[in-house]
Structure 1
Amino acid sequence: MELDRRLLLAHCAAHALSMAAGLLVVVPMALNGSAFKGRCALFSTGYWRTEERAELSGLPGQEDRLVVQQWGPPAACQFATFVGIFTVLYGAAQGWRCLFYLHGRHDDTLFSSFLTVLLSVCVLFLSGGSSVILSLGLSSWCDIVTDNNARPYSCIESQSVALNLDVDTSSFYTDLSLAQASLWCVTALWLVQSTLAFLRLYHSHSQHISGRCLLREKEMLLGYSTSDSGSPSPPHPPATLNFLI
């Protein structure tokens, strides 16, 4: 199996995995956005407050209530969703191209390979940045719901605790942690795709250089054979010399 065919097969596999990982980012983020009524929990600010239960339900006693002062910026959640959607669409398009090249037994041009490397590196940095943002945002939300670990439950256990908010918090940790893990997988796959795209660019460049060298050697050989076949015959003795002899 030739080198370019192995690279194409590896690139097809990377695109297929990135599509699956991208879907595992988009779907949980969409479910979390629906449960939170379009609000973003990442980087939200809030505190716990103790209120009289009589004020809330007419029963005596006190009850702790989570108060969200300000919800997080929507761009923090939308950024991760955008990276997931782009990864799915790009993986589908490039996977189809790889299969087409495998069937046609040819690869991208040198310029197209360079653009693929450039785009892969750019999206690698975008996905890495969105992964960091999602991880830090989820950590900040967990600090709020656990009151900086002062509550007797962890962040994942707080899903089953009544936070007394006007949103559904029964699966926020499951959705956001799944999206977080999938987004880091997307980042790792973009690193793999960038490496494979660079190797394909290097292979295309090597093929281009070797092709030009072979063409130059062929032209030199053809020029040499033409000069040999068209070389003039040795000169005849002058007519005056023949006359004297």
Structure 2
Amino acid sequence: MELDRQLLLAHFAAHTLSVLAGLLVVVPMALNGSAFKGRCALFSTGYWRTENQTELTGQPGDVSHLVVQQWGPPAACQFATFVGIFTVLYGAAQGWRSLFYLHGRHDDTLFSSFLTVLLSLCVLFLSGGASVTLSMGLASWCDTVTDDNTRPYSCSESQSVPLYLDVDTSSFYTQLTLAQAALWCVTALWLTQSILSFLRLYHSHSQHISGPCLPREKELLLGHTPTDRSPSPPHCVATPTILI
């Protein structure tokens, strides 16, 4: 298989995987946003307070519950969701485009390949920033829920513990950790796509430069006169024949 078709096939596989990974970011983040009534748990601050259980559950006794002082900025959750949505849409479009090129046996122009490299690098930095933001935000929320690891349960176990909030916290850890893992996979796939885009650009550039020169170079090296009388392209330099 030719190198350009191998690169196209690898790019198609990377785009297909990015669509799946992007969906694994968007769906859990959407479910978490719905469960938290549009609030963002990332970077939320709060504290635990013990009150009379009668006020919360109607039964006598004391109970500890979480008091959220300030919910996290919505942009922290929206950033990760945006990267996931863009990855799904872009991966689907580029995957179909790669299939079209594979079927038609042609590739992007040099300018289009260059733009693809720039776009891949830009989104790579965006997805990396979103991954770090989601990871740090989840760690901050876990510190709040576990009271800086002083509660008798871990962050993963806290989703089964009643926090007595006005939001559904029964699946927050599963949703956010799934989105976190998928977002890091998206970042790795964008890194792969950036490398593949650069290789395709380099290969297209090499083909563009050497394509018109190869027939003339081959004839000159074999000691034959070029078959056509048309002038050589300006970037083609005749290789001198060394006679022994």
TM-score (norm 1): 0.88
* CA offsets 1:87-140 (integer angstroms, 9 cap, x no match): 000000000110000001011001100000000000000000000000000000
Larger C-alpha radius of gyration, 1 or 2? 1
Q: Please list, as runs of the form range in 1=range in 2, the aligned pairs for 1:1-245 lying within 5 A after superposition.
A: 1-214=1-214, 221=226, 222-223=228-229
TM-score (norm 2): 0.88
The RMSD of aligned alpha carbons is 1.7
Displacement of 1:223 in angstroms is: 3.4
Displacement of 1:62 in angstroms is: 1.0
Displacement of 1:65 in angstroms is: 1.1
* CA offsets 1:10-62 (integer angstroms, 9 cap, x no match): 00000000000000000000000000000000000100011122333443321
Distance of aligned partners of 1:58 and 1:95 in 2 relative to their CA distance in 1, 3 Å threshold: closer
Displacement of 1:181 in angstroms is: 0.1
- In 2, distance between residues paired with 1:29 and 1:58? 34
Task: Give the aligned residue type for 1:157.
Answer: E
Match of 1:160, SS? Answer: coil
Match of 1:156, SS? Answer: helix
- In 1, distance between residues paired with 2:212 and 2:86? 37
Between Structure 1 and Structure 2, which shows a larger proportion of helix residues? Answer: 1
Task: Give the aligned residue type for 1:75.
Answer: A
Aligned identity (percent) is 82
Match of 1:223, SS? Answer: coil
- In 1, distance between residues paired with 2:93 and 2:49? 51
Segments of structure 2 that go 5 or more residues without pairing to the other structure are 220-224, 232-244
- In 1, distance between residues paired with 2:229 and 2:146? 82
Displacement of 1:224 in angstroms is: 8.6
- In 1, distance between residues paired with 2:171 and 2:104? 47
Match of 2:86, SS? Answer: helix
Segments of structure 1 that go 5 or more residues without pairing to the other structure are 226-245
- In 1, distance between residues paired with 2:104 and 2:11? 16
Tell me the number of residue pairs that the alignment of Structure 1 and Structure 2 aligns: 224
- In 2, distance between residues paired with 1:106 and 1:188? 27
- In 1, distance between residues paired with 2:230 and 2:72? 75
